[in-house]
Chain A
Amino acid sequence: MADSVPKPSSSVKLVLLGEAAVGKSSLVLRFVNNDFQENKEPTIGAAFLTQKCNLPTRTIKFEIWDTAGQERFASLAPMYYRNAQAALVVYDLTKPTSLIKAKHWVAELQRQASPGIVIALVGNKLDLTSDSTGTAEDDGESSAAADSGDSGDARKVSTEEAKTYAEEESLLFFETSAKTGHNVREVFTAIANAIPETSLKSARGPGAGAGGVGAGRNNEEQQRVNLGGPRDPNAKEGCAC
């Protein structure tokens, strides 16, 4: 954001997948426009949006494909995740079945999408759980998220369960609220960080190299973000949006 020197910039195709009405479009809307609509029209086919994300060493332009969630649209999904470098698989914290569906998507992506795709598992609607109360107010500064029990009013999927799964499958993992904006930017930042340098198509050669963000470091970072994500107050500063 403050960089005067032009940073290398590259675009990343990102696809959102998940059961209907888990809040995929809302996450995108929050990320792109920092907005929230209570009644967002269901996505027909897919919506396309873009947003930039400034990392210390480079700029990532997300080309976001926000897909329709209804089961029968699933057969259209390959059209959208084709060539995607990143995927956000979203579930609803208050709906256990949506996590199952999310797992299916993860499996599908791991098998069918481009190899090396970065996948983030995102539990949305944190605002509906009790552990969100603290966070809802200060928009993203989560104090309670980490030790969220299952005491939340509407929470039906424990953090532990989803996190364990995410670790097994080496996914990034976040719990977010598109409504409050909690953790939303963090998700995208973490993804931006996790994208291997080599897979950035339009990355400017020297710049990227100078950036010094090696794959190894990426992994570390990813790891850090993954584990500390929900708690990490600094995460958002990576993103200039």
Chain B
Amino acid sequence: MLSLSSFVQRAQQLLDPTQGLNLSDSDKNPSKASLFQNQFRLPSSQHPLYEISAELTIPPSNVTQGDKDRDRGYHYAGKLHLSEAYLCFSTTPSSFLQSASTSTSSAFTGQTHGGGPGGNGFTFPLCAIRRVERLHSQNFQFALAITTWNGINQESVKDKKENAREQRITIQLAGPRVSCERFCDGLKKGLRAGVGNVGKLKKVVAECYSEYLLRPEDKKNASPPDAGLGMLFRYPGDPKKLRDRAKMRLWAEYLRDNGRNMTLIRQPTFHKLIRVGLPNRLRGEMWELTSGSIYLRLENPTLYADTLAKFSGRESLAIDEIEKDLNRSLPEYPGFQSEDGIGRLRRVLTAYSWVDAEVGYCQAMNIVVAALLIYMSEAQAFFLLSALCDRLVPGYYSTTMYGTLLDQKVFESLVEKTMPILWEHLVRSDVQLSVVSLPWFLSLYINSMPLVFAFRVLDVFFVEGPKVLFQVGLAILRINGEELLDATDDGAFISVLKSYFARLDESAHPKSENPKLRAVTRFQELMVVAFKEFSGVTQSSITELRLKNKDAVLNNIESFAKRTAIRNLARDSKLLSPEELGALYDRFYGVLYERQQRDHILKEQAKRAKTNRPRVPDAPDHDDHIERGRVGLGPSTSLMDYDAFREFLAGMSKWAISDSPTTPRRDTFTDKDRNSFYNSFRKSDAFLSPWGAGPEPADHEFLQRLFRNWDVDSSSALTLQNVVSGLARIKGKRDIMGTINYFFELHDDDGDGKVDREGILRMSEALLFLSRRGLEGSLSPSNSTLTLNGMTDSMNNSSLANDVPGQSVNERFLGSVSAFIRRCFEYADPDHPRNQPPAASATTATTTATQAQEQGETAEQPVPTSDDLLQLASPDAFAIGDDDDDDDDDEEEDGDGGDDDDDLLTMDSPTGTPRRAAKSSGETSSPGQPPPLIQLTNYSIPPSTIDGESTDRRRVSKAQSVKANAALDPSNPLHITLPTFRMVVLADELLEQFFESSFPASFHVIEALGSSSSASPTTASSSLTTFSSLGMGAGRAVGAALGGGGAGSGVSAPGGAPAAGGRGLRGVLDNIVTDGMRVAAEVRRRMEDAQKELEKNALPGQRSGNDEDDEEDDEDVPGFEHASEPGGAGTGKGAAYRRAVSSSDRDLLSGADAEASDANSIGRVRGSSDAGSMGDGNGNGNGNGNGGAAKVVGVEFDG
């Protein structure tokens, strides 16, 4: 997690250098825009576009004429702000200019003296402005007269006359003429755009009770707007005691003078009126206005109804949870014993759970919403709830409730700071404060205090913000301080407070002689203490404390979540150690988190690039959810898609790291999207690559298989459980049989216990894929093909368990794999024994096969092959680099290649005489050529170069190959069963070891996979290269000639055509280097070609078979050369069989020294021109697809 957070920090710095810290909500993330939105309670669509110092003049009201003070009107100096759709004035001198420092913009977070963040002033939607006139004034001052749509819903002119003159205020702009002009231009534009919204405004305003309140008496018979359940079931509290009527009169007067709802102007009286408690019927509207939720409603007036309609009839977990609580939300209020009240509650909570699915439903929301519904309509409550969740108490109701926990920590620090004695007492008596205070905050005191008082707290809370919750909490503790000091356990502590809350309405000074003092209730006392004594608790001090405690809280939550998640895993997780599970959990969520971060940043970048509004220099709105995805912050995805899975594996297993990071990936479209941004980011920071700072994961058929296998629900996404279960099967039991079975099952697509020819090849491809960076242990993170120098030596070092000096396990493993394929085919069961292919070739194959068998029996094939390899390979040998670096290497490689080739040959092409053809074919073959006709020819041609010693072996292998080839015949379906597979695996020591240890061990769950920097590049490249060079060598030599089975890798392409088989091998290797899919396609294509070829040449095939025999006999036959040449020329004749390859390899071997170092020398070997570039000392041609990559390598290397 540490690395994650540093990652986030970097990202944030990149986005906005002024911010080092962030929470997920704008409240704690003081970007200018969010500060602005916060101050004026505006929706997140609004940005500060222009601002200018100004003086606001409110004319004396007609109602209060005669009052001398008011005759002069009111003047306020402050700042005028313009956003996209709002014109705001505030006496709080904050600035959101781009150049303004953050502290200026957050000035409002200081003490507000009851003014709330908005201070005195107004927040007019532009659509509520009817007219703006420029006034002629002395001194050439810039003055605007603004007329609003105040009372827009009054039906008749008469009403208007009677009721009020229109609301008209003047504003003098102070500033250079230019800025005034600019401001006015902006205003003009905004006004024009706002005209269309007047309709909306009318609709929204119609739901405000003030409209009804201010109607002339004779119009009052119309039904008033919905002011909550209280209108039907009475409002809580005794209206007389609350002096509701008096308050209503005061408010009516204020609204008449200063505008109502949208056009209300905040003056000091406004704030005073709120402090004494809102009258019942206006409470909803004022809450809506002061919290700013009315602007959300204005933005999308039908959202509530639309949401309900859209999701009507749908079900969700949240809805189940809501249903459970409907009957128990403020059950003592009569409105919630009725269907009407419960119905409203249900609808509001449900609608919100749809709109904000991340929050869904949290207990306590039911209580809060129930309280809101007493005073406001459903739609109003809906928007207010969303203002609460998003801005006022962010994170309180999230799935992890991090906001709640965080604010508890903040509260505790405040107590510690302001009441050190009490704090010490709490610590000493081991009372945990939050067990007491948490419900206060979570339910906004609604279920702690009697409702009437809780609503008074809410009145202030909505104007002045979350700090009010803290102030009130502190005041409660302060007032009860002495009694609390006597309490020594949770129980006593709680009962003190319980009884306090029960007596809030009593006199605070019952024994006082002063009647005035006696009249002061405990609640009033509470409010005074809260706002006077704790006036130092400000938004900014809270913000600061939140930032300070954030990490600790999130870490706590995360460790809890982790513990829970791990514990809740199914039984099979027990197969892994707790440490492994912990590490897996971290890796799993780490990958998801990082991906989300990247995604977010990339999106932001895109947005920025796209919008790039010149008018909004600092608009980018990255404030929200910058940390989305962090477990502690709530719902983050817990599903891993295929790409994430690859990334996840790449963090654990070196084989899952792509070999060619630069290769454009073509897997998902999202990547494409990313790629388009990718370039622009690159310069600034590498971690913005689609894969972040980590290595690019490989994409291989095996990964897809694994993913599908683990994805037991076929949901195309893995849960942690899936991943754990999946890994438990591989790593858990540590028993070879289990692993073997698993591997088999992985390739048994239809689960019938059989793996067909195709599957066998897949298996071997997978084996090669898994082993290409070495079998185990050593780190080979380097994913760049560029670092290919001096591989030879390092390679040996790197490969673990290097038994045979000079030859790495990895190399031997190639042999094992090739033997594996051969054996698989050898022991495969025919699907339909009777159904023997009529094709001539097939017959040939069979015949040869028989011969082969005989021979084969004498010599044990599989092991010998590997032995052969060993022998052949010179100790230092393996040129690990790409194609050939050193001559020696080349030689060895060739040798190995040759052997492998033999194996391959054996397997693939019936005709194949492994090595002999090699040289010639190598020369002749041009990469990428289809195998066709020529193959036959080649067959007949005796191999040009042969190593005498190997003849026998070759024979054997040939025989085997023949036999295997029979098996490969596509028209002769076959399969292996699990027992066969097991047997084949166990027959080879290396394979056995692979399944016993190295495969399970290749998942480095706990230890870190070495970073690319730490591992020596050569190591990686070397092991990689080994294979690839082998493959390539063979491939290249074979080139177009599919037949060139000589490739070191025994992996044959799908059965049918031998030549194709050779291809397949190459393909595998290519895969490693480049792109698996393409190769696969290629392989397949070739296979088909080859098969066609076979069919076509059925008869000749036979002949060729004979020829082959001949070849075998005399390996030295020169004729071969000639044959191969044409192939090489690019005739596309299948000429190059693997033998061809092998022979070419041989040649290389002999000539290797000379050729090796410079590419030029290669020229000799390869007939084709391109070969030049690719050609390495080894003379290995690149196979089909990989040619490109190999080429690059070769060139670089040479260079």
Q: In the complex the two chains form, is B567's CB within 8 Å of A104's CB?
A: yes
Is B937's CB within 8 Å of the partner chain A? no
Which of A37, A42, A45, A65 lies in contact with B366, CB distance below 8 A?
A: A42
Contacts of A74 in B (CB 8 A): 560, 564
Q: In the complex the two chains form, is A20's CB within 8 Å of B363's CB?
A: yes
Q: In the complex the two chains form, is B430's CB within 8 Å of A39's CB?
A: no
Which of A21, A42, A48, A112 lies in contact with B563, CB distance below 8 A?
A: A112
Is B398's CB within 8 Å of the partner chain A? yes
Residues A40 and B328 in contact in the complex (CB < 8 Å), given A72-B362, A76-B405, A80-B435: yes
Which of A40, A44, A50, A69 lies in contact with B442, CB distance below 8 A?
A: A44
Is A165's CB within 8 Å of the partner chain B? no
Contacts of B560 in A (CB 8 A): 74-75, 78
Residues A44 and B443 in contact in the complex (CB < 8 Å), given A20-B324, A70-B363, A79-B435: yes
Q: In the complex the two chains form, is A70's CB within 8 Å of B321's CB?
A: yes
Is B489's CB within 8 Å of the partner chain A? yes
Q: In the complex the two chains form, is A45's CB within 8 Å of B491's CB?
A: no
Bitwise, A26-58 to B at CB < 8 A (1) or not (0) is: 000000000001111111111010100000000
Which of A70, A83, A104, A107 lies in contact with B430, CB distance below 8 A?
A: A83
Q: Which of A46, A73, A76, A79 has the most CB of B within 10 A?
A: A76
Residues A46 and B435 in contact in the complex (CB < 8 Å), given A76-B401, A108-B564: yes
> CA separation between A152 and B563, bound complex, in Å?
36
Q: In the complex the two chains form, is A82's CB within 8 Å of B567's CB?
A: no
> CA separation between A69 and B363, bound complex, in Å?
9
Is B239's CB within 8 Å of the partner chain A? no
A:114-134 near B, CB below 8 Å: none
The distance from the CB of B395 to the nearest CB of chain A, in whole angstroms, is 11
> CA separation between A107 and B573, bound complex, in Å?
15
Q: In the complex the two chains form, is B435's CB within 8 Å of A42's CB?
A: no
Q: Which of A45, A73, A78, A83 has the most CB of B within 10 A?
A: A45
Contacts of B328 in A (CB 8 A): 39-42
Bitwise, A74-101 to B at CB < 8 A (1) or not (0) is: 1110111011000000000000000000
Q: Which of A11, A68, A75, A79 has the most CB of B within 10 A?
A: A75
Bitwise, B524-563 to A at CB < 8 A (1) or not (0) is: 0000000000000000000000000000000011001101
Q: In the complex the two chains form, is B405's CB within 8 Å of A75's CB?
A: yes
> CA separation between A68 and B363, bound complex, in Å?
8
Q: Which of A41, A43, A70 has the most CB of B within 10 A?
A: A41
Q: Nearest chain-B residue to A48 (Cβ)?
A: B494
Contacts of A78 in B (CB 8 A): 560
Q: Nearest chain-B residue to A107 (Cβ)?
A: B567
> CA separation between A50 and B400, bound complex, in Å?
29
Determine the main DSSP class of A at the interface with B: mixed
Contacts of B442 in A (CB 8 A): 44-45
Bitwise, B1079-1121 to A at CB < 8 A (1) or not (0) is: 0000000000000000000000000000000000000000000
Is A232's CB within 8 Å of the partner chain B? no
Q: In the complex the two chains form, is A39's CB within 8 Å of B331's CB?
A: yes
> CA separation between A38 and B401, bound complex, in Å?
28
> CA separation between A38 and B447, bound complex, in Å?
18
A:2-28 near B, CB below 8 Å: 11, 20-21
Contacts of B330 in A (CB 8 A): 41
The distance from the CB of A25 to the nearest CB of chain B, in whole angstroms, is 9
Bitwise, B338-364 to A at CB < 8 A (1) or not (0) is: 000000000000000000000000111
Q: In the complex the two chains form, is A75's CB within 8 Å of B561's CB?
A: yes
The distance from the CB of B980 to the nearest CB of chain A, in whole angstroms, is 42
> CA separation between A73 and B405, bound complex, in Å?
10
Contacts of B405 in A (CB 8 A): 75-76
Contacts of A38 in B (CB 8 A): 327
Contacts of A43 in B (CB 8 A): 363
Contacts of A20 in B (CB 8 A): 321, 324, 363
The distance from the CB of B502 to the nearest CB of chain A, in whole angstroms, is 15
The distance from the CB of A165 to the nearest CB of chain B, in whole angstroms, is 14
> CA separation between A112 and B405, bound complex, in Å?
19
Q: Nearest chain-B residue to A40 (Cβ)?
A: B328
Is B102's CB within 8 Å of the partner chain A? no
Q: Nearest chain-B residue to A41 (Cβ)?
A: B328
Is B624's CB within 8 Å of the partner chain A? no
Which of A41, A65, A108 lies in contact with B567, CB distance below 8 A?
A: A108
The distance from the CB of A86 to the nearest CB of chain B, in whole angstroms, is 15
> CA separation between A11 and B443, bound complex, in Å?
30
> CA separation between A19 and B560, bound complex, in Å?
17
Bitwise, B402-428 to A at CB < 8 A (1) or not (0) is: 001100000000000000000000000
Q: In the complex the two chains form, is A50's CB within 8 Å of B447's CB?
A: no
Is B57's CB within 8 Å of the partner chain A? no
Q: Nearest chain-B residue to A19 (Cβ)?
A: B324
Q: Nearest chain-A residue to B324 (Cβ)?
A: A21
Contacts of B404 in A (CB 8 A): 76
Is B399's CB within 8 Å of the partner chain A? yes
B:477-492 near A, CB below 8 Å: 489-491
The distance from the CB of A151 to the nearest CB of chain B, in whole angstroms, is 26
> CA separation between A108 and B494, bound complex, in Å?
26
Which of B397, B434, B494 lies in contact with A79, CB distance below 8 A?
A: B434
Is B432's CB within 8 Å of the partner chain A? yes
Q: In the complex the two chains form, is A39's CB within 8 Å of B327's CB?
A: yes
Is A63's CB within 8 Å of the partner chain B? yes
Contacts of B447 in A (CB 8 A): 41, 44
Q: In the complex the two chains form, is B399's CB within 8 Å of A45's CB?
A: no
Is B568's CB within 8 Å of the partner chain A? yes
Q: Nearest chain-B residue to A110 (Cβ)?
A: B567
Is B329's CB within 8 Å of the partner chain A? yes
Is B439's CB within 8 Å of the partner chain A? yes
Which of A11, A45, A71, A108 lies in contact with B438, CB distance below 8 A?
A: A45
> CA separation between A229 and B439, bound complex, in Å?
36
> CA separation between A71 and B362, bound complex, in Å?
9
> CA separation between A45 and B447, bound complex, in Å?
11
| Other contacts beyond A41-B447, A73-B401: 12, CB < 8 A | A20-B324, A37-B331, A44-B442, A45-B439, A46-B439, A48-B435, A69-B363, A74-B560, A75-B405, A75-B561, A76-B438, A82-B432
The 18 sampled A-B contact pairs (Cβ below 8 Å) are: A42-B325, A42-B366, A42-B367, A44-B364, A44-B439, A45-B438, A45-B439, A46-B439, A48-B490, A63-B489, A70-B362, A72-B362, A73-B401, A74-B560, A75-B405, A79-B438, A82-B432, A107-B567
- By Cβ-Cβ distance, the 5 closest A-B pairs, closest first, are A45-B439, A45-B438, A39-B327, A39-B328, A21-B324
